[in-house]
Amino acid sequence: MSGGLSGGSEGGRGRTVVTIGVFDGLHLGHQAILARTKARAEGGPCVVMSFDPHPDVVLARGDFRSPPPLTPLGEKRALLKSLGMDRFEVLPFTRELASLEPEAFVDRHLVAPFAPSALVVGDGFALGRGRSGTVERLRTIGETRGFDVEAVPLVMMDGAPVSSTRIRASLGSGRVAEAGRLLGRRYGLAGTVVTGDGRGRELGFPTANLRLHEERLLPADGIYAVLASVAGQEGWHPAAMSIGVRPTFDGQVRTLEVHLLDWSGDLVGRTLAVEFVEWLRPELRFESVAALVAAMAGDVAETRRLLAGAASGPG
């Protein structure tokens, strides 16, 4: 799977610069790599090479389950375009690809299609059989193939490297604001509004029930202050969002429900985008419906307070 991202400088090959990585999340560390790629290209084509499925899925032993991605391929492609990249090449990751010697990988997948002047990677990057294609070895390979290799240092925040693993941990414990700082933007998702059971409306807080467009990592179950955007309409609306199984009603299915503040109208069938701003509270089992309604009113009031000064556009 591959293709151009823009109508820019794809055609030239004189100063093509390639970067390689999974780039899940396209967080601040990845953005530093992409910025160096663009700077090294000096107006020439910038090529991003990635893999699907995630290498961990293919190389894992035993009953390993890869977590859903932070950025599905469609979103990744759009983000790469917004960051000034010209081409996005996705290599099918197989055991055969993983077993290639670094020289063979470079000749087949870098030199033949792109003839790059430079390869930009993250610090600690390696490819090929047994991860033997370290930065040092790639530099040696590049000397005979006309490209040099730049390793971009890790981006540090609060004394630790910015990484996809760290962002997953933040989301997994509901720390969406922290995840947003590491990403350099608010974490979000998009889905189609589907018909629910109407319980939110019965309780006085109508919700839009979301079905995700693409599989992606969800934050921990709980209640969140979010910004929501309705397809076909301008602006972002303050909203409270619930992720969970609705334990007060003995629910078994995980649902995504969004209550848009001060909104009226039917959203079923429309696309709704959501960006997470702040964690409000965990999902709880209440002793009565009245206690749940009181908590929901508190959630809405806190959401209104938190988002009173929030940006009106995507973060």
Active site residues: 257
Distance separating alpha carbons of residues 240 and 274, to the nearest angstrom? 10
Between CA 99 and CA 35 the distance in angstroms is 30
Query: Partners of 224 in the beta sheet?
Result: 241, 279
- Return d(Cα 100, Cα 128) in angstroms, integer: 5
Which of 40, 46, 45, 48 has its CA nearest to residue 9? 45
Pairing of strands 160-161, 156-157: antiparallel
CA–CA dist 133, 128 (Å, integer)? 6
Burial readout 117-128 (b: 16 or more C-beta within 10 A, e: otherwise): bbbbbbeebebb
* Calpha distance 251→196 (Å, rounded): 13
Q: Which uninterrupted H or E stretch holds 161?
A: strand 160-161
CA-CA distance, 209 to 194, in Å (whole number)? 6
Pull the structure tokens for residue 152: 């971009």
Q: Report how far apart the first and last C-alpha atoms of the chain are (Å, whole number).
A: 29
State the pairing for strand pair 118-122/148-152: parallel
Residue 262, φ and ψ in degrees, nearest 5: 55, 35
Tell me which residue of 305, 310, 287, 299 sits closest to 259, measured CA to CA. 299
Cα separation values, 151 from 64, 138, 295, 300, Å: 30, 11, 50, 47
